Amino acid sequence: MLLVLLAIATLIYFYWKIIYPHKYWTRKGVPQSKPVFLFGDIWPMIIRKYSAPELVDEFYKIDQNARYCGVYQFLSPGLILRDPELIKEITVKDFDHFVDRRVFVKENVDPVFGRSLLSLDGEKWRNMRAAVSPVFTSSKMKYMFPSISQCGEDFANYFLKQNKDLLELEMKESITKFTNDVIANTVFGFTCNSLENPNNEFYKMGDEVGNMTSMRTRIVFLMNALAPKILSFFKIYLFSPRIYTFFRQVVNENISSREKHGVTRPDMIDLLVKAKNNSLKNEEADDLPEAGFTTVKDTENGKKSRKYQITDEDIVAQALLFFFAGFDSVAGVISYMCYELAVAQDAQEKLRQEVDETREKCGGKISYEELMKMKYMHMAVSETLRKWPTAIASDRVCVKPYTIQPKLPNEKPLHLKVGDTVNIPIYAIQRDPQYFPEPDRFIPERFSEENKSKIVPYTYMSFGTGPRSCIGYRFALLEMKILMYHLISNFEIVPVAKTQIPIRFNPKAVNMTAEKGFWVGLKRRVKV
């Protein structure tokens, strides 16, 4: 009898802990997926049936008539938001209820990356965001423009020196060297030509930081979702300890040298040190041209932030975050743009005409103002970001009880409790044909002056939305435009035998990486 009772108790416990959680959304009357035992809805990605963006697209299609639907990451429920108006309500209008994102790395586990904007939550995030926001104004982008442009010019000149009519390149590998040089220069104040010297320490560190297919990265991502307490107990950092040692040493020596000798440079370390010393001004009210349609509308981040005293360790954390975000993700988007222009030669020809006209207007030396005035460049960049956004999805965590009021006949009030997670399927929404007809085609004209007003608000979120949108979007756009300007000035981008058309995702990666790389040809232009 005792054994029977023990077996019944075990079954009840088993049901309560493993089966019952997968009915969370059903109990609330929300359409949901068919979760796999224990693994929930991420099983197809684990067995490599779907890549991460393809899985997000599958989630989005669970119920195409619903404003939201439910999924499970292992046993944790998440609400997929499908309705643009609801996305606006949660990320902007009612932001105070959804201030936080899922904390990937906690400060008590990873004392460096855990202090970055990506990892902070609540009051700490508010204060840090307010403290570093002045670093990313348009005036600060102009401040760093010459350094970024020089990196783009060096990139094009390296391939011009090969003296070949046609070069076949895997663009991601080459462009990460450009993004590495930009970050080394504009963030840390170091000059390193990674195409000429690929063994420099910055590039080797960046290659390790940005490797989203490595076994370590995949294990850390998996353990964070499955058993974050194990990561916390064993103090398992996101990156290897030597990476933290390297960046802490670089930043601290840089700060010490500058403060001792009174040196200033047009880079982020200089701006962050000024923020630390409370001498950095927020110069948003300038007359500089803005980024255009892709611009994230800055909104208040909830209640008023307190004055926050930035420390040297905070500077290390933000510098490492910029390196992590800028090395791989920006290089990926630029690589996709090279692929798109290689396939869509008509779009490339329009961009080439604008580049040539701008170069002539500038006398061969591009300026920040003239780059920002290039309308077709911005249209092409915006369309690239629509098809290949920097983030596949975004999330918000409910920090105060919230009710989604019913708007459709089959809905009832949906009560979210503290800790519930909502997910914004950016990749899927930007590929939805009801918002973007022929979504798989590369059509920069979607973002022309005549057409951009037709885009439904909150269906284009390549840099996120609301107060927790990407703080570095201006920097990313500037990098993209600068490199494409210098490339198109000197080369035609053409398909080659190795070009995968259409491009497919690598199911082994946790981000949006091409299965067979980004192979294109650079055909040297004959300038008249």
Question: In DSSP terms, which residues pair with 167 in a beta bridge?
Answer: 522
Structure tokens at 222: 């998996």
Q: 390, 366 in Cβ contact below 8 A?
A: no
Question: In DSSP terms, which residues pair with 521 in a beta bridge?
Answer: 168, 494
Q: Which of 105, 89, 196, 47 has the alpha carbon at shortest distance from 416?
A: 89
DSSP string, 56-115: HHHHHTS-TTSSEEEEEETTEEEEEE--HHHHHIIIIITGGGS-B---SS-TTT-TTGGG
Distance, in Å, from the CA atom of 500 to the CA atom of 419, rounded to the nearest integer, reads 42
Distance, in Å, from the CA atom of 143 to the CA atom of 141, rounded to the nearest integer, reads 5
What are φ and ψ of residue 100, in 5° steps? -95, 155
Identify the helix (H) or strand (E) that includes residue 489: helix 473-490
- Indicate the SS3 state at residue 40: strand
| DSSP letter (8 states) at residue 402 | E
C-alpha 224: how far from chain center: 19
Q: Quick one: 345 exposed, middle or buried, by C-beta within 10 A (0-12, 13-18, 19+)?
A: middle
C-alpha 396: how far from chain center: 15
Please report the beta strands in 148-227, taking only residues with DSSP state E, as ranges in sequence order: 166-170
Angle between helices 473-490 and 345-361 (to 10 degrees): 90
Distance, in Å, from the CA atom of 131 to the CA atom of 303, rounded to the nearest integer, reads 15
Q: 450, 379 in Cβ contact below 8 A?
A: no
**Helix residue ranges, H only, 262-311:** 268-276
Identify the helix (H) or strand (E) that includes residue 493: strand 491-494
Q: Is the peptide bond before 502 cis (omega within 30 degrees of 0)?
A: yes
Residue type, 505: F
470 among the known binding-site residues? Answer: yes
Distance, in Å, from the CA atom of 84 to the CA atom of 41, rounded to the nearest integer, reads 23
Distance, in Å, from the CA atom of 515 to the CA atom of 507, rounded to the nearest integer, reads 7
Question: In DSSP terms, which residues pair with 402 in a beta bridge?
Answer: 416
Structure tokens at 118: 């990506």
Question: In DSSP terms, which residues pair with 396 in a beta bridge?
Answer: 422
Q: Which residues are annotated as a binding site?
A: 470
Q: Which residues are annotated as a binding site for heme?
A: 470
